[in-house]
């Protein structure tokens, strides 16, 4: 049968509750109210003519465009009285078949990737649920351990503060037992231990008498130069660049001590003022300066009747170290890590549990291939509005000129898949559209729309090489229909049908049609 013959209808026809003889069809006289008897002539105004366009897809045009001298149908059937409309449907069908075949191949790839992702997510979800099942007692125990460690930490911090306030450091270091000369020597030793900054600070605090500036500067420069030389030779040294070592040997410090002492003579009769300055200096230089002070005091008091108690000195020096409670820090870290792990597990369950439920209900298809759309959103503009469709989640509408991601008009939340009714499928077929075999996605419970109504939307899917939101219409107030292209809607059943149709049409037109080996392998695979 030729393509032209396929468009010929001669059987009895029914309309308006009566049967019409076949001869009444397309006789250029409008017998039916809906004009269906004159679909090929345009005799009935405002009716639709369907271009069958075999082996390509059908197309609908207004009957008024039939025999108007313009080729609207690829099979030329709308201009039957003209010879200027050659049949180009095979070429169009071949082109569309290429897109369909590539879509089917892509769908097969997506099914493999989706199965792997589903397996990985199932393991993640199982691990998250196992962790959440034991989370409460674990976190409670870690919280109690943290509270106990922090209570002990607070107690020790308070005890440390009390010891410092009681003057344990000064008492243990024997500062009060130093006479004026000893105090001055200790002061100079600490200043030299502190390096350039310490020496400079000492002059700021002590050299206030006229006439000493030039001599003080000379000694300070010499101390600075030799301290810098020591730093360059001894990596990792203390604040004094190696001026005093751990055993208390002060090297160059002793050479400068005499010159500094000579500058500061005559000595005060008591060491009270010098001790006050010493406190300021060692407070600014830190615990290391106090260690230098302890060494100096130990040496200065060694030959007296009241030498320092080394154990008391060690305990006092510990008070000057940065306070740290390792047990409390470890307990806080363990509790924080457990809380964060539970938060991650909760987030994993929040994200993956809905996917698990949809997969269990068959919502991702037999091969779970539709899963790859979950969590993705697609945008399109229509009549100045921006629409955003997120399969398995929601649909939204943006204000003119705005982005859908920023607007707040909800068209509906995903509720279910719904089959396309037979009548609706026929309407779509006449328009040349083939929706997914899985059906349409329904989105309900959208924003209020006046009169107690709420917005709702239906998302159709058709075969395409790319995932894309194609169009959104509003056939009724606050009722939206959207179409999306995706390889997931490319079915092997439709592909096999197209192959058979193209083979028949190509043979009738004496054309060669041969699918690729890769495509033949796909056609032989189970759906």
pLDDT for residue 144 is more than 90: yes
pLDDT band at 244 (very low <50, low <70, confident <90, very high): very low
For residue 335, give Cα distances in angstroms to 133, 144, 411: 17, 9, 43
Burial class (CB in 10 A: 0-12, 13-18, 19+), 507: exposed
What class is the 375-490 domain? Answer: mainly beta
How much is the pLDDT for 135? 87
* φ and ψ at residue 395, rounded to 5 degrees: -130, 145
Compute the distance between CA of residue 194 and CA of residue 242 in angstroms, rounded to an integer: 10
- Tell me the per-residue pLDDT of 40-77, one tens digit each, with 9 for 90 and over: 666 777 677 788 787 777 888 887 788 888 888 888 88
Compute the distance between CA of residue 115 and CA of residue 172 in angstroms, rounded to an integer: 73
How much is the pLDDT for 414? 96
Burial class (CB in 10 A: 0-12, 13-18, 19+), 287: middle
For residue 364, give Cα distances in angstroms to 370, 428, 523: 5, 24, 22
pLDDT for residue 412 is more than 50: yes
Strands (E), 326-467: 378-382, 385-390, 394-398, 409-418, 440-445, 456-463
pLDDT for residue 378 is more than 90: yes
Helix or strand (DSSP H, E) at 283: helix 272-285
- Tell me the per-residue pLDDT of 317-374, one tens digit each, with 9 for 90 and over: 787 777 889 999 999 999 999 999 999 999 999 999 999 999 998 999 888 899 999 9
- Tell me the per-residue pLDDT of 93-139, one tens digit each, with 9 for 90 and over: 777 777 777 888 888 888 888 889 889 999 999 999 998 998 888 89
- Tell me the per-residue pLDDT of 419-469, one tens digit each, with 9 for 90 and over: 998 888 888 887 778 899 889 999 999 999 877 889 999 999 998 889 999
- The C-alpha R_g of the chain, in whole angstroms, comes to 46
Compute the distance between CA of residue 64 and CA of residue 41 in angstroms, rounded to an integer: 9
Compute the distance between CA of residue 53 and CA of residue 90 in angstroms, rounded to an integer: 9
In the chain, what are the domain boundaries? 3-87, 175-307, 375-490
pLDDT for residue 245 is more than 50: no
pLDDT for residue 278 is more than 70: no
How much is the pLDDT for 124? 92
Compute the distance between CA of residue 524 and CA of residue 527 in angstroms, rounded to an integer: 9
For residue 431, give Cα distances in angstroms to 61, 212, 412, 420, 456: 9, 106, 27, 15, 24
For residue 172, give Cα distances in angstroms to 157, 302, 318, 324: 20, 14, 12, 22
Q: Picking from 105-114, 192-201, 297-306, 436-445, which range would have the lowest pLDDT averaged per residue?
A: 192-201
Pairing of strands 13-15, 456-463: unpaired
- Ordered DSSP codes for 297-360: HHHHHTTSSS---HHHHHHHHHHTSPP--HHHHHHHHHHHHHHHHHHHHHHHHHHHHHHHHHHH
């Amino acid at each position: 049968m030729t393509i032209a013959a396929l468009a010929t209808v001669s059987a009895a026809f029914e309309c308006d509750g009566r049967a019409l003889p076949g001869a009444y069809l397309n006789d250029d006289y409008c017998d039916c109210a809906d004009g269906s008897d004159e679909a090929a002539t345009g005799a009935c105004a405002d009716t639709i003519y369907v271009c069958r366009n075999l082996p390509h897809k059908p197309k609908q045009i207004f009957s008024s465009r039939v025999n108007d001298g313009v080729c609207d149908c690829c099979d030329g059937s709308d201009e039957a009285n003209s010879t200027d409309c050659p049949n180009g449907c095979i070429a169009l069908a071949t082109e569309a078949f290429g897109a369909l075949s590539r879509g089917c191949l892509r769908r097969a790839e997506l099914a493999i990737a989706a199965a792997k992702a589903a397996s990985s997510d199932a393991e993640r979800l199982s691990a998250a649920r196992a962790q959440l099942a034991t989370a409460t007692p674990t976190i409670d125990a870690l919280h109690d351990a943290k509270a106990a460690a922090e209570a002990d930490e607070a107690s020790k911090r308070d005890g440390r503060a009390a010891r410092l306030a009681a003057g344990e450091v000064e008492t243990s270091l024997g500062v009060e037992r130093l006479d004026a000369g000893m105090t001055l020597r200790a002061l100079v030793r600490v200043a030299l231990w502190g390096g350039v900054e310490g020496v400079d600070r000492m002059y700021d605090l002590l050299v206030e008498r006229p006439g000493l500036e030039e001599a003080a500067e000379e000694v300070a420069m010499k101390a600075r130069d030799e301290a810098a030389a020591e730093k360059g030779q001894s990596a990792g040294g203390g604040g004094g660049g190696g001026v005093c070592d751990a055993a208390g040997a002060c090297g160059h410090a002793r050479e400068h001590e005499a010159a500094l002492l000579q500058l500061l003579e005559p000595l005060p009769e008591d060491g009270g003022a010098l001790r006050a300055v010493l406190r300021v200096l060692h407070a600014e230089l830190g615990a290391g300066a106090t260690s230098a002070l302890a060494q100096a005091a130990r040496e200065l008091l060694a030959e007296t009747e009241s030498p320092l108690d080394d154990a008391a000195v060690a305990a006092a020096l510990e008070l000057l170290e940065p306070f740290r409670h390792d047990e409390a820090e470890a307990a806080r870290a363990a509790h924080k890590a457990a809380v964060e792990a539970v938060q991650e597990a909760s987030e994993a369950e929040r994200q993956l549990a809905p996917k698990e439920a949809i997969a269990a209900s068959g919502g991702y298809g037999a091969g779970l291939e539709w899963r790859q759309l979950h969590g993705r959103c697609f945008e399109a503009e229509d009549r100045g509005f921006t629409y955003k469709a997120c399969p398995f989640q929601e649909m939204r509408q943006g204000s003119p000129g705005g982005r859908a991601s920023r607007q707040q008009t909800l068209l509906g939340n995903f509720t279910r898949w719904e089959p396309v009714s037979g009548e609706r499928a026929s309407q779509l077929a006449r328009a040349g559209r083939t929706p997914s075999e899985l059906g349409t996605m329904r989105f309900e419970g959208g924003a209020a729309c006046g009169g107690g109504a709420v917005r709702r939307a239906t998302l159709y899917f058709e075969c395409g090489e790319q995932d894309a939101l194609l169009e959104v219409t509003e056939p009724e107030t606050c009722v939206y229909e959207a179409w999306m292209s995706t390889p997931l809607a490319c079915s092997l059943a439709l592909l096999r049908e197209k192959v058979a149709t193209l083979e028949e049409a190509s043979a009738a037109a004496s054309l060669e049609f041969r699918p690729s080996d890769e495509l033949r392998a796909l056609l032989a695979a189970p759906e």
